[in-house]
Amino acid sequence: MTLYDVPAPAKLNLFLHVVGRRADGYHLLQTVFRFIDLCDTLHFDLRRDGVISRATELPGVPEEQDLTLRAAHALQRATGTKQGVQISLEKRIPQGGGLGGGSSDAASVLIALNKLWGTCLSRRELMDLALPLGADVPVFVFGQSAFAQGVGEDLTAVTLPEKAYLVAQPDASVPTPRIFSAPDLTRDSSSITMAVFLASPTSRFGRNDLEPVVYRLYPEVLGASRWLAEQGILRGTPVRMSGSGACLFAEFSELSEAVLAEAEISAIMRGADKTFSQTHPRFRLVQACTGLA
Ligand code: C5P
């Protein structure tokens, strides 16, 4: 038995503009994906019998929808390899939170099995296998923070300044298709060039066009966002949603600042009187983390 451990990082969308819609209903976006050091860990146990299986159940995710298994099958089909694998997953990235956890897990499966099976596909070929698994999967195969266009597959690497982030998870599960199909979604934001973004302070640039729809449909996300933004420790730092939510984040110059904000906000939440827990929006702090290159 040979076991291999591979990390799969989460992403934040520093901004997300919807600039159009394709005939098939998918939306044309402009966004910057930034990876953060909040990671799931995947364990691979190679099998010689060609079977692809999972050792861990994902609550609410049946086998046929499990992106890790679908990624492994896609690579097996594309290359004709006779090898198999048992995959287990240590989940730390909140599921369905707009942090790309499932997409990142799938990309890590493609990259890792391509090495472990010796199937030798190029990164470009892996990215082509990634796109049918989900619009956010190619950027994780790409492997670095990127300015993304198209539905998320047209990627240009960007070097971002060192920053830290505090991530919070409101108590809401937001299905992405519901947000993209909302009649009131802005679909005609004007396109920008990457240079415009790079010339601006990262946390202050642009907006997430999906926020107004999520805030309307899920008032607990709006409540959490407003409550966080009112805390003195954030000192006017914008609170923004990642992807289609529900996770929120605030950007800091240093990890120590994000850690301090995390400690102070946790203390407020813990120390507040009983009425506070009944009246304040329900959310949890995920963690303070560093932005990756
Ligand atoms: O590609 P993925 O499975 O992550 O997308 C989930 C849903 O989000 C799609 O079925 C589509 O409704 C919507 N979507 C979209 N435009 C994108 C990405 C996702 O409309 N660029």
Token code pair at residue 163: 């920053």
Q: Is the CB of 27 under 6 A from ligand 1?
A: yes
Residue 274, pLDDT score: 59
The predicted complex's ipTM stands at 0.96
Ligand 1: atom nearest CA of 135 is 1
How many whole angstroms separate alpha carbon 169 and alpha carbon 241? 10
Q: Is the CB of 176 under 6 A from ligand 1?
A: yes
- How close is the Cα of 123 to the center of ligand 1, in Å? 23
Residue 280, pLDDT score: 78
- How close is the Cα of 192 to the center of ligand 1, in Å? 21
Higher pLDDT, 205 or 142: 142
Token code pair at residue 270: 């813990």
Provide the annotated active-site residues: 11, 136
Q: How confident is the model at residue 253 (pLDDT cuts 50, 70, 90)?
A: very high
Q: Is the CB of 34 under 6 A from ligand 1?
A: no
Asked whether the beta carbons of 84 and 52 are under 8 A apart, the reply is yes
> What is the average pLDDT score of the chain?
94
Place of tokens 């599921």: 95
Share of the chain above pLDDT 70, in %: 97
168-190 pLDDT per residue, tens: 999 999 999 999 999 999 999 99
Nearest CA to ligand 1 atom 2: 134
Asked whether the beta carbons of 290 and 38 are under 8 A apart, the reply is no
Token code pair at residue 240: 């923004």
Closest CA to 207 of 17, 7, 8: 17
- How close is the Cα of 135 to the center of ligand 1, in Å? 6
Residue 203, pLDDT score: 79
Ligand 1: atom nearest CA of 181 is 12
Ligand 1: atom nearest CA of 150 is 21
Judge whether residue 2 has pLDDT over 80. no
